[in-house]
Chains A and B, each alone.
Chain A
Amino acid sequence: MTVQEGGVQEGRAGAEIGSPRKRSEDARLIAGRTQWTDNMTPQGTLHVAFLRSPHAHARIVRVDASQAMGRPGVVAAFSGADFADEQGSLPCAWPVTDDMKHPDHPPMAVSEVRFVGEPVACVVARDKSAAFDALDEIDIDYEPLPAVLNMDAALAEGSDLVHDDLGTNKSYTWVFENGDLDAALRDAPVVIEREYVQQRLIPTAMEPRSVLCVPDGDDFTLYSATQIPHILRLMLATVTEIPEHRIRVVAPDVGGGFGSKLQVCGEEVLALLLARRLGRPVKWTESRSEGNMTVHHGRDQIQRLTLAAERDGRIRGFKADILADMGAYLMLVTPGIPILGAFMYNGIYKMDAYSFTCTGVFTTKTPTDAYRGAGRPEATYAIERMMDELAAELGVDPIEIRRRNWIAHEEFPYETIAGLTYDSGNYEAATDKALELFEYDKLRAEQADRRDRRDPVQLGIGVSTFTEMCGIAPSRVLGSLSYGAGGWEHASVRILASGKVEVVTGSSPHGQGHETAWAQIAADRLGVPFEDVRVLHGDTAISPKGMDTYGSRSLAIGGVALFSACDKVVEKARRVAAHLLEAAEQDLEFTAGRFSVRGVQEEGKTLQEVALATFAAHDLPDGVEPSLDSDATFDPENFSFPHGTHLCAAEVDTETGMVHLRKYVAVDDVGKVINPLIVEGQVHGGLAQGIAQALYEEAVYDADGNLTTTTMADYLIPSAADLPTFTTDRTETPATSNPMGVKGVGEAGTIASTPAVVNAIVDALRPYGVNDVPMPCTPERVWRALRSETKPDTAEPGAGGGLGSASASGSDSDSAGGAQ
């Protein structure tokens, strides 16, 4: 959408919410005046480097770190065994079933390694290079064990086991059923079955993970590139048995996360333990290749789907059988990620029956966990791809098939087949707007023309009418799902003597723009200038209560907490103002930051005047404490449900398989908007990430369980040059579950866009008999789909060109690099 610049009047109260303010944090971030964890090096800091397993699965026979100790600058070297008694086991906070298999997960492997990249030993040195160089001197004997890479094979009788003591590679099976699915499948005239693979993705935050732990006697300050300083503090205390009040966690400037920093990393635990053992600050920052191997991965599910429908297109039932790759261990919320999708496979549609079964499977790969959307992109992909398959099967336009099934706007609130109550929405309005912006009929006409002409470049149109659940989450619901914590969020507002305002939020920004949006909320609610508000966050000593940032929850939970805290400030100030104005509280009105007696505008007190009077406390009403400070904790009663209609036009070169995105229209309904510029930025970034899953990204393991996509030459991330110009717009249907009417936007673009793109590609190729292209839809896969070949259904590593060829042939290191 068009954003008007300069439309904001500085400090005009009441005009902040809804204003497209440029983000106040950006000048600092863009100019490099930032405080990344890795930028901090207190006096005496020691640097850690980790030696990581080169095997997918092996028994550790012997570790000898003594030679490393003799290297210059090296202070200490340790194996997992050296920390066996104190390192504990990394936490999993989401035991999704009572009988879930949950293996121990030592931060540094002691007796067995189960994925390539698992830490086995470490060197601590006076500089980073010395630590890294000394890793070569650590001698480890491994006894290789069989890699377990394929989920179906892992579940078969007699399979090699990832965790021998568990006796199985199955972690859990989680089931949700509603309605008579058997009847639907038996009676429906149309039954469509498909299998889709949600490939494994590597979350790629701009800032790599980094941790610095500074000891101070029995107290520890841990700086970390984390999304979750509060959860991390509690978990570190639990794992290490260092009392919670002895640990302070600081998330300074954090450069993106997308879920990858919603984690309690072994490196964080070890930094804390090393700092305690050595009594000096200890720092670790990963390299990009190290990160690709060891930051938790996302997606990696096999979806076996069945949709039953009537001949007129009405859906009878939907069945989703999911295999979800846990990787080698269960990390913070690993098993729950696919379960978050369980409530979304029905999408925006009405149906009689629904069945969801998910089995979590251990493999000898990097653990999976939350990645932007976390379960909901997978679910949305499944239902939106299947809606297009249904449309094709019946010869009905994909928009029309959706109209026949979606919840009409007058039917809200609507209890879905998955048991959620969608509070509000207007799918008709978003779709109509998107169709108009897209010029749908014109593009369909061009598509028909290209088909008639047998143009080698075919045009396809993809539709995605998505919804998602965000605002995570009502604590009672989390409890019913066996999640280990609640879903509330906290905010406090401090009114300083001068009338300036400090907002403290438990939500922990890492790129979202809280410092701007939160100041806009506070400025409007308190009637103070935007510039008078400062937002504090990301430090458990400054912001002691919080549930942090993930799942598009910040505004819908944390923003609402701030909204309530501001209202409490105004109520406190009203008592003082009434006293000062010698009026009854109920006779006061509060507008634009000023209390006045109704009907007597000229007599009044500004919030700043009340603040100063409260600070002086010379003349307060009896029983009133000299403070306007207030806090609030908001626990939602329901999720929020952003939705939207995304349309993608893709040109597919049938001679080469290359896909070119011609046009992309996203009309999102994220409820009330605080800052439309930030919302648009979130949508753009989300679209890029969702399109990346459709076209570019895939973590690929070879037959021995080695990750082959360890550099950005092999793991392709699109840049602006690879993406179309996005047309974004909004409809605005307020959420009814919170007083601000807000829903959340952080994941919408990612959730919506992947099926829109793949639907467009398949739509282009349907005349050739193609009904699927596995993701990512590389040119070769499109080409093979056109030749009715399914191989290779996963990318196969090998030697090729560029740096990719160099790394694939890495053992021959001396020959790499001809001369210059």
Chain B
Amino acid sequence: MIPAAFDYARPASVDDAVRVLADAGEDAKVLAGGQSLMPLLRLRLAIPDALVDVGRIGALREIRDDGDALVIGAMATHHQVIRDPLVREHAPLIAAAAETVADPAVRHRGTFGGSLAHADPAGDLPAVALALDAVFLVRSVRGEREIPATEFFVDWMTSAMEPDELLVGVRVPKPGPGWGVHYEKFHRTAQAWAIVGVACAVRRNGGAIEEARVALTNMGPAPVRADGVENAVRGRPVSEDSFRSAAEHATEGTEPPGDLHGSPEYRSHLATVLTSRALAAAAV
């Protein structure tokens, strides 16, 4: 299909971009790779008045070391993120999840920030950002502010950003040594969205789990942090039994959707099975 008509702007800098965005009003959308937005436009499920294409703002592609954290530019592509040595060293869970996004063509055009700002609960990266306590760096003509991941994902495809705000980057705390990570994605074909996904990071201390961070993909209108699992597994021995019993808490606080690929009941079952597997894989 053909998108409805829209105005198009391609600012060259972040300053320009936020100015254009402020002028464009409520019904403008930021084009940040277009791998989710373009299909919505073509199906006329989104009919924005204007598109602000930030694809030419080179500064937004940077991935840099910021002391005890990494800052990943919003316009870094998935492909870039997957291969970046800093990401691989300090945020391997992001690289692992980004590797499962769609197909190589999408990973070359789709962006890290675009995927997060889209706030699709079926997207792989929101749950990862939540598990890693990432902080979202947001700019507008009114200035800059930081939004913690726990507050960023508000509802189904809705983030805490105002219409005039632009996501410029994401700060991901370096976890320090001893962490194992795993992203367990359950999908029917390689290119399909997750029916359920589990983002998991685990720190071992010898034979015990010292700390775990677990977040779930597509188990509600927004990604869900599985606090119950994290609490249940903390301090427990590294064993199949620990993981299985902790994973029983995986469905707490979830509102799984039902669609062609899985009913809510089945998703709940999967969340439990996959959480146990993700913990085990991360704890290896």
> Which residues of A approach B to under 8 Å, CB–CB?
128-129, 132-133, 287, 289-290, 655-656, 658, 695-696, 700, 708-709, 711, 713-714, 716-719, 721-722, 778-780, 783-784, 792, 795-808, 810, 813-820
Contact with A along B91-126 (1 / 0, CB 8 A): 000000000000100000000011001111111000
Would you call B45 and A810 a contact (CB within 8 A)?
A: yes
In the bound complex, do residue B2 and residue A289 qualify as a contact, i.e. CB atoms below 8 Å apart?
no
Task: Tell me the B32-58 residues at the A interface (CB within 8 Å).
Answer: 32, 36-37, 39-40, 42-48, 54
Chain B, residue nearest A692 (CB): B189
- Given that A655-B273, A713-B192, A719-B189 are known contacts, is A818 also in contact with B258, CB under 8 Å in the complex? no
Cβ of B259 and Cβ of A804 under 8 Å apart? yes
Binding-face segment, B77-85, B154-162, B174-182, B199-207:
B154-162
CB-nearest residue of chain B to A714? B260
What residue of chain B has the Cβ atom nearest to residue A708's Cβ? B260
Q: Which of A128, A656, A800, A814 has the most CB of B within 10 A?
A: A800
Residues of B within 8 A of A (CB): 1-2, 4-5, 29-32, 36-37, 39-40, 42-48, 54, 74, 103, 113-114, 117-123, 156-159, 161, 163, 165, 167, 186, 188-195, 217-218, 257-263, 266, 269-270, 273-274
Within the complex, which residue of A784, A801, A819 is in contact with B121, where a contact is CB–CB below 8 Å? A801
Closest B residue by C-beta to A802 = B193
Q: Which of A289, A656, A818 contacts B157 (CB 8 A)?
A: A818
- Cα of A806 to Cα of B193 in the assembled complex, Å: 12
Could you list 25 examples of A-B contacts with CB < 8 Å?
A132-B2, A695-B188, A709-B260, A713-B192, A714-B260, A717-B189, A721-B189, A779-B262, A783-B269, A784-B266, A797-B259, A798-B258, A799-B258, A799-B259, A800-B218, A801-B121, A801-B195, A802-B120, A803-B193, A815-B156, A816-B45, A817-B40, A818-B119, A819-B161, A819-B165
Docked complex Cα distance between A708 and B117 (Å): 27
Do residues A803 and B40 form an inter-chain contact, with CB atoms below 8 A?
yes
Beyond the given pairs A721-B103, A805-B122, 8 more chain A to chain B contacts, judged by CB atoms under 8 angstroms and listed by A's residue number, are A696-B188, A721-B189, A780-B266, A798-B259, A799-B257, A799-B259, A805-B120, A820-B117
Q: Which residues of B contact A802 (CB under 8 A)?
A: 120, 122-123, 192-193
Q: Is the interface of A mostly helix, strand, loop or mixed?
A: loop
> In the complex, what distance in Å separates the CA atom of A656 from the CA atom of B191?
19
What CA separation (Å) do A518 and B113 show in the bound complex? 53
Residue of A nearest to B272 (CB): A655
Report the separation of the CA atoms of residues A86 and B87 in the bound assembly, to the nearest whole angstrom. 66
B263 → A minimal CB distance (Å) = 7
Q: Determine if B43 and A819 form an interchain contact, defined as CB atoms under 8 angstroms apart.
A: no
Complex Cα distance A814/B7, Å? Answer: 17
Q: CA–CA, A784 to B257, complex, Å?
A: 18
Say yes or no: A818-B118 contact (C-beta < 8 A), given A133-B4, A719-B191, A722-B189: yes
B37 contacts A820, CB within 8 Å? yes
Q: How far is the CB of B168 from chain A (nearest CB, A)?
A: 11
User: Shortest Cβ distance from A133 into chain B, in angstroms?
Assistant: 7
Q: Which residue of chain A has the shortest Cβ distance to B33 in the bound complex?
A: A820
Within 8 Å CB of A814, what residues of B? 46-47
Q: Are A818 and B117 in contact (CB under 8 A)?
A: yes
A820–B1 touching, CB < 8 Å = no
- Most chain A C-beta atoms within 10 Å of own C-beta, residue among B1, B32, B188: B188
Given contacts A289-B1, A289-B43, contact A656 B117 (CB under 8 A): no
- Contact call A805/B113, Cβ cutoff below 8 A: no
Set of chain B residues within 8 Å of A696, measured between Cβ atoms: 188-189
Contacts of A713 in B (CB 8 A): 39, 192-193
A798 touches B257 (CB 8 A): yes
B263 touches A796 (CB 8 A): yes
Provide the bound-state CA to CA distance between A797 and B258, in Å: 8
Residue of A nearest to B257 (CB): A800
B29 touches A820 (CB 8 A): yes
Known contacts A778-B261, A801-B120, A806-B40; A819 and B188 CB within 8 A of each other: no
Give the Cβ gap from A527 to chain B, nearest Cβ, in Å: 47
Contacts of B195 in A (CB 8 A): 779, 801
A775 to chain B, nearest CB (A): 14
Cβ contact of A801, chosen from B1, B54, B167, B193, cutoff 8 A: B193
Q: Which residues of A contact B261 (CB under 8 A)?
A: 778, 780, 800, 804
When the two chains form their complex, are residues A806 and B45 in contact, meaning their CB atoms are under 8 A apart? yes
Query: How close is A693's CB to chain B, nearest CB, in angstroms?
Result: 14
User: Which residues from chain B contact A718 at a C-beta distance below 8 Å?
Assistant: 189
CA distance A716 to B145 in the complex (A): 41
Complex contact B157–A721 (CB within 8 A): no
Please indicate which of the listed interface residues B45, B193, B269 has the most CB atoms of chain A within 10 Å of its own CB.
B45
With A801-B122, A801-B194, A820-B29: A656-B45 Cβ-Cβ less than 8 Å = no
Q: In the complex, A128→B45 CA distance in Å?
A: 19
A128 to chain B: closest residue by CB: B2
**What residues on A are CB-neighbors of B194 within 8 Å?**
801
* Beta-carbon contact of A819 and B122 below 8 Å: no
In the assembled complex, how far is the CB of residue A690 from the closest CB belonging to chain B, in whole angstroms? 16
| Other-chain residue from A128, A716, A780, A803 in contact with B39 (beta carbon distance below 8 A) | A803
Q: Are B30's CB and A819's CB within 8 A?
A: yes
Contacts A783-B269, A800-B260 known; A813 to B159 CB distance under 8 Å? no
Closest 10 CB pairs of A and B: A801-B122, A800-B259, A802-B193, A820-B117, A721-B190, A818-B119, A802-B122, A820-B30, A820-B32, A798-B258
Q: Which residue of A lies closest to B27 (CB)?
A: A814
Docked CA distance A713–B121 (Å): 15
Are A819 and B190 interface neighbours, CB within 8 A? no
Residues of chain B within 8 A of A722, CB atoms compared: 189-190
CB < 8 Å neighbour of B46 from A129, A708, A799, A813: A813
* B260 close to A820 (CB less than 8 A): no
Assembly CA distance A699 to B272 (angstroms): 30
Cα distance A429–B266 in the bound complex, in angstroms: 45
CB distance from A152 to the nearest CB of B (A): 23
- With both chains docked as a complex, state the minimum distance between the C-beta of A166 and any C-beta of chain B, in angstroms: 33
Contacts of A806 in B (CB 8 A): 40, 43, 45, 157
From B113, B186, B195, name the one whose CB has the most chain A CB atoms within 10 angstroms: B195
- Residues in B whose Cβ lies below 8 Å from that of A714: 260
A contact residues around B274 at 8 Å (CB): 656
A813: chain B residues at CB < 8 Å are 44-47
- Contact (A818, B158) CB under 8 Å given A711-B43, A719-B191: yes
Cα distance, A778 to B123, chains bound together (Å): 21
Inter-chain CA distance A806–B157, complex, in Å, is 9
Q: How many angstroms between the C-alpha atoms of A805 and B167 in the bound complex?
A: 24
Q: How far is the CA of A778 from the CA of B192 in the complex (A)?
A: 13
Flag if A700 contacts B260 (CB, 8 Å): yes
- A819 near B159 with CB under 8 A, answer yes
- Inside 8 A of A819's CB, which chain B residues have their CB? 29-30, 117-119, 159, 161, 163, 165, 167
Do A800 and B30 touch (CB < 8 A)? no
Query: Complex formed: what's the CA distance from A820 to B39 in Å?
Result: 13
Residues of B within 8 A of A708 (CB): 260
Per the bound structure, the CA–CA distance linking A309 and B67 in Å amounts to: 76
CB distance from B129 to the nearest CB of A (A): 14
B47 to chain A: closest residue by CB: A813
Q: In the complex, A714→B74 CA distance in Å?
A: 29
Q: Which chain A residues border B74 with CB–CB below 8 Å?
A: 820
**Closest residue of chain B to A127, judged by CB?**
B2
Q: How near does chain A come to B85, taking the closest CB pair, in angstroms?
A: 26
- The smallest C-beta distance from A119 to any residue of chain B, in angstroms, reads 15
Instruction: Give the residues in chain A near B165, CB-CB below 8 Å.
Output: 819
* Set of chain A residues within 8 Å of B266, measured between Cβ atoms: 779-780, 783-784
Bound-state Cα–Cα, A817 to B119, Å: 8
Closest residue to A780 on the B side, CB-wise? B266
Are B186 and A658 in contact, CB atoms less than 8 angstroms apart?
yes
Distance in angstroms from B224 CB to nearest chain A CB is 13
The answer, among B5, B46, B191, B263, for a CB contact under 8 Å with A817, is B46
Contact A820 B114 (CB under 8 A): yes
Q: Are B40 and A818 interface neighbours, CB within 8 A?
A: no
Nearest-neighbor residue (CB-CB) of A804 within chain B: B259
In the complex, which residues of chain B have a beta carbon less than 8 angstroms from the beta carbon of A805? Answer: 120-122, 156, 257, 259
Residue of A783, A801, A802, A804 with most chain B CB atoms under a 10 A cut-off: A801
